[in-house]
Structure 1
Amino acid sequence: MTFPHHAVLPLALAVSLASSAALAQQAAAPASPQVDRARPVQRTATDLPRVQVNANDWRKYLKAKLVHQLSEVDGSRITVTKKATITHLDLQPTVIDNNLDQLLARSPGVLVSQQPTPTQFNLGYRGLGNPQESEYVLVMQDGIPLESDWIGFPTLYAMPLSQSLSDVELIRGGSSLLYGPQPAPVINLVSRRPAADAPSSFTTEQVVGNHGLYSTYNTLEGSSGPWSFRADMAYVRSDGTRANAGSQRRQGDLYLAYRPTAQQLWWFDLHAIDAASGDPGRLSYPQWRADPSATPTPYNRDWVDRHQLVLGHNREFGDGWLLEGKLWFAWQDLASRSASGALAAQPLPNSTTLQDEQFRTRGTDVRLRRKWGRGNAFTIGAVLFHGDDPFRQWTSRDLYVDRFDRNGKPRLVQARSSDYASVFAENVFRLPHEFHIVPSIRLERERVAVDETVKPPFLSRPLIDEADARTVPLLGLGIGNDFGHGNETYFNVSQGWRPLRYFDMASPFANIVPGRAPDPSKALSWEAGVHGVPVTGLYYDVSLFWIDFKNRIEAQHINVTDVIEVNTGDTRHRGLEGQLNYDFFAPTVLADRGEHLEAFANISLLDAHFTASTIPGQVGKVPAYAPRYLAKAGVTWRVEQRVKLSLTAVSAAAQYWQDSDQPFGSGASYLPARIPAYTVIDVAADWQLDRNLRLLAGISNLADRRYYDRVWQTGLEPATGRTWYTGIALTL
């Protein structure tokens, strides 16, 4: 008879204990004399020394940690020694209308720069770059990039509705070695999936709110034998808080999975997002003070369509081997109609620009993992990516020209393409005394190309015909130690980089002086911290970080009309990031009945400055969007299958909106140098009336705070004031 490996040690221990007890009994008994078998034998009992055995079930600490952080070896990913935070959305009320402050409230350090239109999402982290379109943050869905083009145009214009997500993963400190380009971090949005044995069910969610909000989200899912499926359809509309701020969003998803055996999974994913929104325009500071609802561009509009097909396969081969593979195809159309702003009493512009950018991308990600020895694991993989991204503009006299009208005068025509390939390997070694070490390596190559046939008429430069390629090696090292019950110290040093974009090679809207393309921006990140569950109900994670970000790319004017893209300088980002969660009911019998009262708080303290620059007087200045603190906190009361009630708050320090740390404009067009500090409070609740009916309600910006946290040289974006919603969810 043979036994599985995991049963050998307990079996050997049991046999050893039994044998020892038997030998002890034999040694304690005197030698037996010759006795008359006809007479009864007098037997005496022997008292052995008392042995007290105490055991701690390590699994309870692991389970408590996994509420807040990723598994150390998560499928083919090695996340031990990396700082990895996870938010399980089932443990908080439903997030309506993609309220990113609520969605990312438990994600430390992630800065949301609000633009109250659902066709652009602005996220930043640790002051590494302007949050505009989340260009310095890698946002993924199920490990696949959501950016328009991952390499040539890494912008975020489409995002799935929160109701379709199960988890939000935030990975930093080695994230580039896991997933590739972007200095840090990775935000991975995990889609909801039906359990393998889930019965079929249908859920419809109907929500209304102020400013004309209507949201419907409908799901059909279930499993039968080896098959599982999930389909959803959603529609969200709102009038917005300003004229021409109305929007509509449609989303559809289809997931189909086949499990021929317990060790195999084949799956198919189809995601579709269509969004359209008016663009009311940005305001100067005096205009915002006078009337934050003013609309200088009642004729501008944005459209985003994104469709993505994913084919995947997971397979366990035994002996610790696991294969994970994904093949995806995505098509995104980003269109806009924009003209100069004009408030009342000002003349209307005499033309508008109709723009269309298409992104036809495809890629594959294949990873192989082998668990070996006692807790060791090795991963190796490769990624290939290609994008074809035509960029076109027309001018028209009609300020309300239709999105598909091509009768205007061509203003810009570019053919653009990107290619990316990488190979990577990583291993976690378990050492004596609960130490572990994780070396990582990744080799990446990118190529971007722009071929221009029509340029804007106000430029004198030649047509752009540029191509550039870069090969970038990345290294990383993580070291950790487990101590106590469920606690770990971790240290990570890793390299990251930001790929060379189309606009870095040559801006289509400037007189570019031909020359060598700038070097890609690179980051070297150091992070050391400790996290764990020292007592029942308490989780903590606190770390110190230091990031050197080099070769920042900016447009530098060499005369009145001509610019050149150059590496202008380096910045240093250092600070502390901490997270604390405590469930007051966890040590009590209330937790056994499914009742929890959890408070959470996280904070990022940041000290960021320019350490080198080709711009005179720039050294020592604070980079844009690098607040000295970003704090988030809240409390959630949760009774399983009954109530979820949350109060959350986000507070950010004042921050500069441009690297010069200087105001912009004067008089009626004045913009202050800094975005003022702000604190925003939200409340949300789900109340399960019975097994089928759930009530939803919430208020965002509870105090009706008047603020803004998004500024560009063309003006500021007023943030949304107090909003409310209410609705029901019915499950059949």
Structure 2
Amino acid sequence: MRTTSLLLSSLLLTTSMVAAPTSASYALPLHDESGRGATLTGTVLDPAGKAVEGALVAVGNRTALTDARGAFRLQGLPAGEALVTVSGLSIRPISQTVTLQAGQTQTLRLLIEEAVQQLDNVTVAAQSLHFAPEVDGTIITAGKKNEVIELDKLNANLVMNSSRQVFAKVPGVTVWESDGSGQQINVATRGLSPNRSWEFNTRQNGMDISSDPFGYPEAYYNPPLEAVERIQIIRGGGSLQYGSQFGGLLNYELKRGPKDKKIQFETSNSVGNNGLLSTYNSLGGTVGKVSYFGYYQQRLGNGWRDNSEFNVRNLHANVQVQATKKLRLGAEISHLGYEIQQPGGLTDEQFYNGDVRQSSRGRNWFSTPWTIPAFTADYQFSDRTRLSLKTFGLLGERNSIGLPSSVNIDKPDAVNPATGQPANRQLDRDRYRNLGSELRLLTEYDLLGQQHTLAAGVRVAAANLGRRQQGLGDTGSGFNLDLQAARYGRELSFRTRNYAAFVENIFRVGSRLTFTPGARLELIDNQGRGYLSLNPDGSENPLRQDSRRKVLLYGAGAELRVTDQTNVYANYSRAFRPVTFGDLTPPATSDVIDANLQDASGFNAEVGYRGSWANVLTFDVDAFWLRYDDRIGTIRRFVPGSSTTTQQFRTNIGTSVHKGVEAYVELDLIHALTRNFDLPHFDVFASMAFVDARYTQLRTATLSGSNLQEGDLKNNRVEYAPKYTHRFGGTFAHKGFSATAQLTRVSAVFADANNTVAPNAAATTGRVPGYSVTDLSASYRFAKRFTVRGGLNNVFDKHYFTRRSGGYPGPGLLPADGRTWFASVGLKL
């Protein structure tokens, strides 16, 4: 049949002995070791016989990714008949049934014949989320809650980095939608703060991209999602391998050049309302032992609100060289440049009774030029042992100029009362210079009749931040960083040195149970120097802060295979949030920092059940418990030795406990009902989270006359922690067409720990109402090379906001975008 001729790949099965491989039409057991589970090894090759890296090989719910040599290894498999599948980007899933025997190893040679993009009339499956294999490269994920988002299978507005669409199937992700340019990705889980994703350890290709994870962990840079192949998320258990953050790991993996082409060019050009223009262009391929890839992306527009102009430019290049059969070297560089106009906040009166698109700021601008160079080396000692070295740097800035004062309805742009002319703007500038290196080893070994996996690594990192604030800017309205005075009002320098070592081990008990303990030791040295302000005579109010400490993290995970396609997992992991430079910098010279200020500490714990059924159902349901001790805040106290004079004192003031349930389920409805996989796909999903995040202690002290009244906000809800975050959607896919509809529902939250309901005049505190928003998106691939995409975000033009700002980028509530649309045309050659 003609349909059969369009099949994308087939399996060729051969037998091989370890010392002298020989081809055959079946898999021959290599050796007999009674009492052990079966082991499956092999390689995945393209039609030219070249290794296919990053292919997903699965037996039931056990999966492994092929390495640079196309090799994979699955251990502890149950004996009996098993279905082996191979899938991945540019690969049509293929399958083959084999018989596995306990205590024996079988080796397969899997040959992929053709890539999915080269054929017409192929239905592209809608499922874009899956769970990571228990070993992903040099990362152990066994026993941890994790998700992998494959962006090529998503219908979403990637042009504008639409977080609520991209993370829709990851239960519990909350999003701050306060940046209409799409440059800032503000996400969190489990009731943590979404502010620039700072509760996640954010990485690109496994390397740091934030300002300074142990001093200033905000992620000002995020890669354009059009260039991202997959997003990897590991919840709190990721702290053992990646460091402190309570949220875990958020890693963007960029696309690479195709292995089967010397040159491939891809372009996607988009338009949208509010003057949106965007272009994404990439070039990549493999020539001999050299693989290369690069892209240029630019988007510009006027924004949905007034005074929201933006111009964003991204550039990236990488090259990988297979120096020897075992050694692969790589180099890459990413650069971001942009200027974004920031419209500032609104009052509640303006939002509810005026034009929600209005702006009281026409002179506020923001820019963070960011350059990330990196060098990598991967060495494959054997099928069982590999070593990875990543060395990375950061040359970055954070620049803002504008009017940071409260909203003024009558005078939207401040005027100098003495001259009647526009007031000088405030100029703030940060400079980041970072360098780090991580060495990771992963090896498999035999012990007591079982095969186990050890991962270990060390890290060395140095970060330097130069901070200049409260500078006198110009009186203009455009982006300008010229200082109009001799000195900044505040000038500080911060230094971080970080040394770390970790170890984790998968112990396999029989063919169904794994136990994964681990530990990590962090050595952190923070230092701050400079002056906080200038006195009228020009003298400085100095700052001198030093903090050196050791932090031991530990944890353990377990995973029990209930059926061939489902498992129960559980994990406990210690975590901490280091004292940041912001914590060490008092907002006023009269404020005092506790000399014994401690890092916030605590733990993540979770238990869940996940897996799939009959290739039509995927699910993951878990319960979690997160404890956040020694939270840092400011409390008023009497100046030591005085009973009348008070001061603001920054110290550890409280504890919060976050507990809840997260659930994700996706069903291929048509195929589940008919069992006819030649029919179109109709996948429906639900991603739900219920969170109860409350303070168990939060000390307060307020001044009443000459007396201090102490209190405790115990049982108050944690700010910006919604009771529920639900997303529901469906995707219809047939041949080259795919369309997705999605509904997001988020409960109301409080903007402050006092749980203030009524907003204040400046709109910086008060309740943030719940909201519902609907998105539509679709794509069509045709003639092998062309793709058209389009989408309508916030279909019903709902007016809502997700954040109240207390200062930068202009106090007040920050409206989310109303109805917007985009359309793209893509070509791949």
**Structure 1 stretch 395-404 or stretch 373-382: which is displaced more?**
395-404
Q: Distance in 2 between matches of 1:261 and 1:646?
A: 45
Could you say if the C-alpha distance between residues 601 and 505 of structure 1 is closer, same or farther in structure 2, counting changes exceeding 3 Å?
A: same
**Structure index of larger Rg:** 1
Q: Distance in 2 between matches of 1:547 and 1:479?
A: 18
Q: Distance in 2 between matches of 1:266 and 1:592?
A: 42
Specify which of 20, 29, 36 is matched with residue 10 of structure 1.
Answer: 29
- Does structure 1 residue 368 correspond to structure 2 residue 441? yes
Specify which of 331, 349, 371 is matched with residue 307 of structure 1.
Answer: 371
Match runs of 1:530-679 below 5 Å: 530-558=609-637, 562-586=647-671, 595-615=680-700, 616-639=711-734, 642-663=736-757, 666=760, 668-670=761-763, 673-679=766-772
Could you say if the C-alpha distance between residues 646 and 199 of structure 1 is closer, same or farther in structure 2, counting changes exceeding 3 Å?
A: farther
Match runs of 1:305-704 below 5 Å: 305-318=369-382, 320-339=384-403, 340=405, 341-345=407-411, 348-349=414-415, 350-373=423-446, 374-393=450-469, 394-396=471-473, 398-400=475-477, 403-408=480-485, 409-432=487-510, 434-453=512-531, 455=533, 462-513=541-592, 515-558=594-637, 562-586=647-671, 595-615=680-700, 616-639=711-734, 642-663=736-757, 666=760, 668-670=761-763, 673-704=766-797
Task: Tell me the equivalent position of 1:106.
Answer: 169
Q: Could you tell me which amino acid in structure 2 is paired with residue 329 of structure 1?
A: G
Structure 1 position 448, deviation (Å):
1.3
Contact 1:663 1:670 in 2 (8 A): no
SS in 2 for 1:292: coil
Q: Distance in 2 between matches of 1:250 and 1:61?
A: 36
Structure 1 position 428, deviation (Å):
0.2
**Structure 1 stretch 181-190 or stretch 338-347: which is displaced more?**
338-347
Q: Distance in 1 between matches of 2:19 and 2:520?
A: 33
Could you say if the C-alpha distance between residues 226 and 84 of structure 1 is closer, same or farther in structure 2, counting changes exceeding 3 Å?
A: same
Specify which of 148, 166, 170 is matched with residue 86 of structure 1.
Answer: 148
Contact 1:254 1:269 in 2 (8 A): yes
SS in 2 for 1:455: strand
Could you say if the C-alpha distance between residues 691 and 433 of structure 1 is closer, same or farther in structure 2, counting changes exceeding 3 Å?
A: closer
Q: Distance in 2 between matches of 1:12 and 1:166?
A: 39
Task: Tell me the equivalent position of 2:62.
Answer: none
- Does structure 1 residue 207 correspond to structure 2 residue 270? yes
Task: Tell me the equivalent position of 1:50.
Answer: none
Task: Tell me the equivalent position of 1:24.
Answer: none
Could you say if the C-alpha distance between residues 460 and 675 of structure 1 is closer, same or farther in structure 2, counting changes exceeding 3 Å?
A: farther
SS in 2 for 1:410: coil
Contact 2:360 2:413 in 1 (8 A): no
Q: Distance in 1 between matches of 2:396 and 2:493?
A: 15
Structure 1 position 649, deviation (Å):
2.2
Task: Tell me the equivalent position of 1:715.
Answer: 812
Task: Tell me the equivalent position of 1:730.
Answer: 827
Could you say if the C-alpha distance between residues 397 and 712 of structure 1 is closer, same or farther in structure 2, counting changes exceeding 3 Å?
A: same
Q: Distance in 2 between matches of 1:708 and 1:125?
A: 18
Could you say if the C-alpha distance between residues 674 and 67 of structure 1 is closer, same or farther in structure 2, counting changes exceeding 3 Å?
A: closer
Could you say if the C-alpha distance between residues 263 and 634 of structure 1 is closer, same or farther in structure 2, counting changes exceeding 3 Å?
A: farther
Q: Distance in 2 between matches of 1:574 and 1:57?
A: 38
Could you say if the C-alpha distance between residues 426 and 586 of structure 1 is closer, same or farther in structure 2, counting changes exceeding 3 Å?
A: farther
Aligned residues: 690
Q: Distance in 1 between matches of 2:373 and 2:504?
A: 29
Contact 1:448 1:467 in 2 (8 A): yes
Q: Could you tell me which amino acid in structure 2 is paired with residue 620 of structure 1?
A: N
Contact 1:461 1:512 in 2 (8 A): no
Structure 1 position 9, deviation (Å):
7.2
Could you say if the C-alpha distance between residues 510 and 696 of structure 1 is closer, same or farther in structure 2, counting changes exceeding 3 Å?
A: farther
Could you say if the C-alpha distance between residues 670 and 78 of structure 1 is closer, same or farther in structure 2, counting changes exceeding 3 Å?
A: closer
Q: Distance in 2 between matches of 1:637 and 1:179?
A: 38
Q: Distance in 2 between matches of 1:182 and 1:465?
A: 26
Higher helix share goes to which structure? 1
Structure 1 position 671, deviation (Å):
5.7
Task: Tell me the equivalent position of 1:216.
Answer: 279
1:519-547 CA distance string (max 9 Å, x none): 10112111011111133311111111111
Structure 2 residues not aligned, in runs of 5+? 1-14, 22-26, 34-78, 94-126, 416-422, 639-644, 701-710
Contact 1:234 1:250 in 2 (8 A): yes
Structure 1 residues not aligned, in runs of 5+? 15-53
Match runs of 1:47-66 below 5 Å: 55-60=80-85
Q: Distance in 1 between matches of 2:593 and 2:822?
A: 54
SS in 2 for 1:475: strand
Q: Distance in 2 between matches of 1:243 and 1:62?
A: 46
Q: Distance in 2 between matches of 1:718 and 1:357?
A: 27
Could you say if the C-alpha distance between residues 639 and 226 of structure 1 is closer, same or farther in structure 2, counting changes exceeding 3 Å?
A: farther
Could you say if the C-alpha distance between residues 402 and 281 of structure 1 is closer, same or farther in structure 2, counting changes exceeding 3 Å?
A: closer
Task: Tell me the equivalent position of 2:9.
Answer: none
Contact 1:657 1:711 in 2 (8 A): yes
Q: TM-score, normalised by structure 2?
A: 0.79
Structure 1 position 726, deviation (Å):
1.1
Contact 1:624 1:657 in 2 (8 A): yes
**What is the Cα-based RMSD across aligned positions, in Å?**
2.7
Contact 1:474 1:495 in 2 (8 A): yes
Q: Distance in 2 between matches of 1:567 and 1:461?
A: 28
Q: TM-score, normalised by structure 1?
A: 0.89
Q: Distance in 2 between matches of 1:2 and 1:490?
A: 35
Could you say if the C-alpha distance between residues 471 and 681 of structure 1 is closer, same or farther in structure 2, counting changes exceeding 3 Å?
A: same
Structure 1 position 613, deviation (Å):
2.4
SS in 1 for 2:381: strand
Q: Could you tell me which amino acid in structure 2 is paired with residue 674 of structure 1?
A: R
Percent of aligned pairs with the same residue?
A: 24
